[in-house]
Structure 1
Amino acid sequence: MAPLFLILVSLPLLTSSGEDPRPLRREVYGGGRIIDVTHRVSPESLVWGNGGAGLGQYLRLRRSIKNGNNTNSSVMNLSVHTGTHVDAPGHFIDRFFDAGFDVDSLDLDVLIGPGLLVDVPRDKNIAAEVMESLKIPKGIKRVLFRTSNTDRGLMYKKEEDTSFVGFSSDGAKWLVENTDIKLVGIDYLSVAAYDDLDSAHIEFLKNGEIIPLEGLKLDNVKAGLYYVNCLPMRLYGAEGSPVRCVLIP
Structure 2
Amino acid sequence: MPQKIIDLSARVDAAAWEANPVEHRVLSPAEGARHMADGMREHYGVDFDPSVLPDGELLSLDTLTLTTHTGTHVDAPSHYGTRADYGVPRHIDQMPLEWFLGPGVLLDVSDEPVGAVGADRLAERFERIGHAPGPGEIVLVRTGADALAGTPAYFTDFTGLSGAAVDLLLDLGVRVIGIDAFSLDAPFGHMIAEFRRTGDRGVLWPAHFAGRRREYCQIENLAHLDELPAPTGFTVSCLPVKIAGAGAGWTRAVALLDG
* TM-score, normalised by the number of residues in structure 1: 0.74
Q: Is the 8 A contact 1:233 1:243 kept in 2?
A: yes
Given candidates 104, 109, 127, the residue that maps to 2:93 is: 104
Deviation readout 1:161-206 (Å, 9 max, x if unpaired): 32310011222223223x2211101001211112145222111453
When residues 79 and 138 of structure 1 are mapped into structure 2, their CA distance, relative to the original with a 3 A threshold, is closer
When residues 129 and 81 of structure 1 are mapped into structure 2, their CA distance, relative to the original with a 3 A threshold, is same
Residue 231 (structure 2) pairs with residue 240 (structure 1): no
Residue in structure 2 matched with residue 183 of structure 1 by the alignment: 176
Q: Is the 8 A contact 1:144 1:185 kept in 2?
A: yes
Relative contact order higher in (CA < 8 Å, ≥ 6 apart): 2
Given candidates 85, 88, 92, the residue that maps to 2:73 is: 85
Residue 81 (structure 2) pairs with residue 73 (structure 1): no
Range with bigger deviation, 100-109 or 133-142:
133-142
Residue 93 (structure 2) pairs with residue 127 (structure 1): no
Query: Which residue identity is paired with 1:103?
Result: I
When residues 122 and 148 of structure 1 are mapped into structure 2, their CA distance, relative to the original with a 3 A threshold, is farther
Structure 2 unaligned segments of length 5 or more: list them.
37-57, 192-202
Q: Is the 8 A contact 1:173 1:204 kept in 2?
A: no
Structure 1 unaligned segments of length 5 or more: list them.
1-29
Flag the structure with larger Rg.
2
Matched-pair identity in %: 29
Residue 113 of structure 1 and its aligned partner are, at CA, apart by: 1.3
Deviation readout 1:201-238 (Å, 9 max, x if unpaired): 11145322x21011111243323221111111110000
When residues 212 and 118 of structure 1 are mapped into structure 2, their CA distance, relative to the original with a 3 A threshold, is same
* Structure 1: 4+ residue segments shifted above 6 A: none
Given candidates 80, 95, 113, the residue that maps to 2:83 is: 95
When residues 139 and 156 of structure 1 are mapped into structure 2, their CA distance, relative to the original with a 3 A threshold, is same
- Rounded Cα–Cα distance in structure 1 between residues aligned with 2:75 and 2:121: 23
Residue in structure 2 matched with residue 221 of structure 1 by the alignment: 228
* TM-score, normalised by the number of residues in structure 2: 0.71
Residue in structure 2 matched with residue 13 of structure 1 by the alignment: none
Query: Which residue identity is paired with 1:139?
Result: G
Q: CA RMSD in A?
A: 2.7
Given candidates 12, 21, 25, the residue that maps to 1:59 is: 25
